[in-house]
Amino acid sequence: PSQFAVFGHPIAHSLSPRIHQAFARQCDIALEYRTIDAAPVDFAAAVHGFFAAGGAGANVTLPHKGAAFALAGERSEAATRAGTANVLSRLPDGRLAAHNTDGAGLVRDLTERHRVDLRGHDALMLGAGGAARAVAWSLLDAGVQTLTIVNRTPETADALADAIGEPARVHTRYWDDLANLGSYDLIVNATSAGVLGGGLKLPMSLVGARALCYDLAYGAAAIDFVAWAKAAKARYAWDGLGMLVEQAAEAFELWHGRRPDTEPVYQALRAAV
């Protein structure tokens, strides 16, 4: 069977092997999918070793998404915009192609699983790092009317807004001003505060009457933000488990040319996580 893997550090608790194996069973495809723990200094060598030994494709997660983008010989538009990659594929000539399926995964989770029409939404994005860059363009492409980016370090928010280059739709504001910004229809937590265990102190005034609050992280890392959104009476408060499954489905389709049915896999993980 063909060989797949997810690279990360740490990686032991990754759900990706389980997701891809479930998709493969659905589609009657034989594959092996394992986790590879590589420290940052060893990442490039580990990736090249994996593909040299016949690896067909790899997922990449923290902290390697930037390095995965950098080592690829070819890059998709989504990866180029993000400056990061969560998927590596082997090209026929042996070089590696970098993709980023996180933005497409988020939009699919919102619009197909949750049936939300993003058109006309005024969106607030908390954070401007790799995760934010991976989803910002996708939200705009999905019809979000305005996107306000707020980051603890304002220069990074400005750099992302400049990279998007749509000054009529994309604005930046200061983190210290969050209490004065009014309310939003969509609030995306793209900070790593939950992953790092630091709490965000967010004003409830951000949450509009029909607001959808979404944390790109899932499980324990999303608990604080989801609890804040519920306390602020958000209409919806979701973690990123659906996005995780959908970004995997996008990768699966790139590798196998087949689109799996994500719903049973999502439901099984939701019951387990």
Residue 14 CB, nearest approach to ligand ATR (Å): 15
Which residue in 208, 214, 200, 201 sits closest to 182, CA to CA? Answer: 208
Identify which of residues 146 and 156 has a Cβ nearer to ligand ATR in the complex: 156
**Is residue 28 part of an annotated ligand binding site?**
no
**Is residue 16 part of an annotated ligand binding site?**
yes
Residue 154 CB, nearest approach to ligand ATR (Å): 8
**Is residue 216 part of an annotated ligand binding site?**
yes
Per CB under 6 A, the list member of 55, 105, 130, 242 interacting with ligand ATR is 130
| φ, ψ dihedrals at 189, nearest 5° | -90, 105
Residue 67 CB, nearest approach to ligand ATR (Å): 12
Segment contacting ligand ATR by CB under 6 A, of 28-36, 71-79, 148-156, 263-271: 148-156
- Restricting to residues 101-120, name those near ligand ATR by CB under 6 A: none
Per CB under 6 A, the list member of 182, 198, 203, 264 interacting with ligand ATR is 198
Q: Which residue is nearest to ligand ATR (CB)?
A: 129
191 lies in the site for ligand ATR, by CB under 6 A: yes
Sheet containing 207-215, strands listed edge to edge, beginning at the edge strand earlier in sequence: 170-174, 146-151, 122-126, 184-189, 207-215, 236-238
196 lies in the site for ligand ATR, by CB under 6 A: yes
Identify which of residues 144 and 149 has a Cβ nearer to ligand ATR in the complex: 149
Per CB under 6 A, the list member of 151, 172, 247, 262 interacting with ligand ATR is 151
| φ, ψ dihedrals at 34, nearest 5° | -130, 170
209 lies in the site for ligand ATR, by CB under 6 A: no
152 lies in the site for ligand ATR, by CB under 6 A: yes
Residue 156 CB, nearest approach to ligand ATR (Å): 5
Per CB under 6 A, the list member of 156, 163, 169, 258 interacting with ligand ATR is 156
Catalytically active residues are: 65
127 lies in the site for ligand ATR, by CB under 6 A: yes
**Is residue 15 part of an annotated ligand binding site?**
yes
Return residues touching ligand ATR (CB under 6 A). Answer: 127-131, 151-153, 156, 191-193, 196, 198, 200
